[in-house]
Amino acid sequence: MSKDKYYIIDFDSTFTQVEALDELGLISLQNHPDKEGILEQVKHITDSAMSGNSSFAEGLAKRLELLQAHQNHLPQLISRLKEKVSDSIRRNKDFLKEYADQIYIVSSGFKEFITPIVTEYGIKEENIYANTFTQDEQGNLTNFDKENLLSMDKGKIKLLEQLALPGDVYVIGDGYTDYEIKEAGLANRFYAFTENVVRDSVVAKAEHIAPSLDEFLYQNKLPMAISYPKNRISVLLLENVHPQAVELFRKEGYQVETASGALSEKELCEKIKDVSILGIRSKTQVTRKVLEQANRLMTIGAFCIGTNQIDLDACLEAGITVFNAPYSNTRSVVELALGEIIMLSRGVIGKSNKLHQGEWDKSAAGSFEVRDKKLGIVGYGNIGAQLSVLAEAMGMEVYYYDVVEKLQLGNARKCSTLQELLEKVDIVTLHVDGRPDNKHMFGAEEFAAMQKGTIFLNLSRGHVVDLDALVASMKSGKLRGAAVDVFPEEPATNSEPFESELRGLPNVILTPHIGGSTSEAQVNIANFVPNRIMDYINTGNTYGSVNFPNLQLPELKNAHRLIHIHANVPGVLANINQVLAKNHVNILGQYLKTNEHVGYVITDIDKIYDKQVVQDMRQVPHTIKFRMLY
Ligand SMILES: NC(=O)C1=CN([C@@H]2O[C@H](COP(=O)(O)OP(=O)(O)OC[C@H]3O[C@@H](n4cnc5c(N)ncnc54)[C@H](O)[C@@H]3O)[C@@H](O)[C@H]2O)C=CC1
Ligand SMILES: O=C(O)C(=O)COP(=O)(O)O
């Protein structure tokens, strides 16, 4: 333990997430008609002083005058602030307790509310330096002790001079006055604490940034509550992933970078180097080449259903888990398909186009109801099955074909071969997945097998259909209409042009891969995928992973968790357990699951363990990845 270091921690917006005087105002001005206006003024004065733009002492007096606070407001303020202790302070209580002799709270706030909060975290009362209120006879908190150094301009500097701490001084705070301690030569280091607020003027001056207390502890090799600071985990979200996902990751403390389009392989090879979590949608190709550059990548989130754009085997070999959102946009695709079936059956597109040109074409020729028509669903997975139910509700007769045995829903009829389905139905809709084997599974032969005048839909993947054959079938009149949402080549961003031989064909609905692009679906996905990923990072849970053995784990309680990913060859588990035995580690629980390629072993061990075990676990032959959770 380095006993010659002192840690000076600020209170407002550092120890707690908020400025206490702003919170006090919310209580004291609760019934004031101009509550908002006054609070705005208070906040403005606080920000101005914290950013170093105005006199602190004058600002303090002015704020107290505006707040009209009373001592009776303090208990409520204290209980509010207790709820708002910064997350990283809260989780690192053990550090604060263990190093209590070296930790000081130096704040321009007031002891009356600071002391009851920080002492709960082991801070010693004699190490709390802050202002004190003075009350009038009625108990109004009208003023403050003017003799207190911290009520004066440059008060923190004056205090530190007086304290004359006999060792290195590290200051952690969000305000300019915290930085000034270092500027005055009274601290060895200043860490701008940005977990709650980022003050540009302070960050600009700071040589060290601490987005959390974890980061401070990590940089200074001090004991911390979590294995690795979250702010060191960088997340790259491509293809306009919904902002809700960005917020969830940021809230967890991760560094998040976003881009609106997909990246090319070359761009991604460059970008992926520092990324720990990658979020994509259907367009970004995560190839083996990209993965070879991905030194830090732990997990990939496909913010969609399909994962054919990701080399899942290469991910497995590199110990990278992949998660997707298997149900979040299912309904959206089904609704679009149903709408298109009706539009095509009624020739709406052609009629609408004509009307836009001023041509009135009222006629029933070539227009049909969908009731009693035969719908053929190819790929009876989640989308296919849901479409089956809704189509039946509209009175359609449903036929389906799938390469695996699927439960027939409602009155849907199973076809034993694709040929059988194609010959029977009036409408064919593709909902297969995009596995490589499905490339051109639908071509001239399949179109030839259909009845004349069939309607055709593809909302699955572009490469599944041979487009030349589709165009020929439209031109020959074999198909009466088609709706295509997915293409072999799709623009990476909205600013790139769309080229396709399907452009300009009559009664063909072309949509820019929007089957899953609804607000509902995107919000659902943005909630679902980050939670899977964070659960994996925080607990090792792989439930729902599309490439990893699915292991659902109990919560980590008073144990360390060793997470070991290895090639699935005989003897690895025995080796792991030998390492644990050799290091006299007490195993509290062990969970193993394997698939064809990898083994995934989780071992929960006692908090007391020999550090050598970490080194030894990494050396176990066939180890792909190893990490430890606290
Ligand atoms: N247009 C869009 O925006 C969207 C497109 N999709 C696409 O739809 C696909 C299907 O989604 P889900 O139904 O959720 O997937 P799913 O995995 O539940 O269903 C796919 C089904 O297709 C079957 N299948 C695969 N190849 C086949 C073949 N050659 N012949 C017959 N059946 C075959 C599978 O056995 C499985 O039952 C996704 O993989 C994705 O590519 C998904 C969401 C949105
Ligand atoms: O969910 C899927 O598989 C989709 O095709 C939707 O893709 P997107 O998120 O719109 O790029």
Reported as a single tens digit per residue, the pLDDT across 204-217 is: 999 999 999 999 99
Structure token digits, residue 548: 């990893």
Reported as a single tens digit per residue, the pLDDT across 256-295 is: 999 999 999 999 999 999 999 999 999 999 999 999 999 9
Which H or E run includes 201? helix 200-205
Whether pLDDT at 73 is above 50: yes
| Complex ipTM value | 0.99
* 303 Cα–ligand 2 center, Å: 7
Contact residues for 11 (Cβ-Cβ < 8 A; gap 6+): 20, 105, 107, 109, 114, 118, 130
Q: Considering the domain 233-327+518-548 in this protein, what is its CATH number?
A: 3.40.50.720
Domain ranges of the chain: 5-219, 233-327+518-548, 330-517, 555-629
Q: Considering the domain 5-219 in this protein, what is its CATH number?
A: 3.40.50.1000
- Establish whether 513 is a catalytic residue: yes
Contact residues for 247 (Cβ-Cβ < 8 A; gap 6+): none
* 368 Cα–ligand 2 center, Å: 31
HEC letters along 6-55 = EEEECHHHHHECCCHHHHHHHHHCCCCCCHHHHHHHHHHHHHHHHCCCCC
* 193 Cα–ligand 1 center, Å: 47
HEC letters along 468-497 = HHHHHHHHHCCEEEEEECCCCCCCCCCCCC
List 70, 490, 597, 622, catalytic entry? 490
Whether pLDDT at 556 is above 60: yes
Q: Give the per-residue pLDDT at 300.
A: 98
N- to C-terminal Cα separation, the chain: 20
Structure token digits, residue 515: 């089957």
Q: Give the per-residue pLDDT at 1.
A: 45
Return mean pLDDT, the chain.
95
Atom 18 (ligand 1) nearest CA: 381
Question: What distance lies between CA 169 and its chain's CA centroid?
Answer: 36
Reported as a single tens digit per residue, the pLDDT across 412-470 is: 999 999 999 999 999 999 999 999 999 999 999 999 999 999 999 999 999 999 999 99
Whole-prediction pTM: 0.85
Whether pLDDT at 512 is above 90: yes
The phi and psi torsions of 221 (rounded to 5 degrees) equal 55, 45
**Which of the 8 DSSP states describes residue 442?**
B
Superfamily of domain 555-629 in CATH is ACT domain (3.30.70.260)
Q: Please, is 294 exposed, middle or buried when counting C-beta atoms within 10 Å of its C-beta (0-12, 13-18, 19+)? A: buried
**Which of the 8 DSSP states describes residue 465?**
B
The angle at the Cα of 381, spanning 333 to 466, to the nearest 5 degrees, equals 70
Q: How far apart are CA 519 and CA 509, in angstroms?
A: 22
Half-sphere exposure of 343 (CA within 13 A, CB side): 21
Q: Residue 3 — pLDDT band, cuts 50, 70, 90?
A: low
Q: Which of the listed residues 380, 433, 435, 487 should we mutate to test ligand 1's pocket, taking the one with most ligand atoms within 8 A of CB?
A: 433
Q: Give the per-residue pLDDT at 50.
A: 72
Whether pLDDT at 237 is above 70: yes
- Establish whether 560 is a catalytic residue: no
* 298 Cα–ligand 2 center, Å: 22
Structure token digits, residue 627: 């990490």
Q: Give the per-residue pLDDT at 409.
A: 98
Q: How far apart are CA 50 and CA 264, in angstroms?
A: 44
Range in 54-58, 251-255, 309-313, 497-501 the model is least confident about? 54-58
Whether pLDDT at 4 is above 90: no
- Average pLDDT (85-91) is 95
Q: How long is the chain?
A: 630
Contact residues for 22 (Cβ-Cβ < 8 A; gap 6+): 39, 42, 43, 46
Whether the domain at 233-327+518-548 and the domain at 330-517 fall into the same CATH topology: yes
Q: Which ligand is nearest to the CA of 303?
A: 2
Half-sphere exposure of 238 (CA within 13 A, CB side): 24
Q: Give the per-residue pLDDT at 267.
A: 97
Reported as a single tens digit per residue, the pLDDT across 360-414 is: 999 999 999 999 999 999 999 999 999 999 999 999 999 999 999 999 999 999 9
Structure token digits, residue 388: 């089956």
**Which of the 8 DSSP states describes residue 272?**
G
Q: How far apart are CA 153 and CA 56, in angstroms?
A: 5
Protein fold of 330-517: Rossmann fold (3.40.50)
Whether pLDDT at 28 is above 90: yes
For the CA of 282, the nearest atom of ligand 2: 11
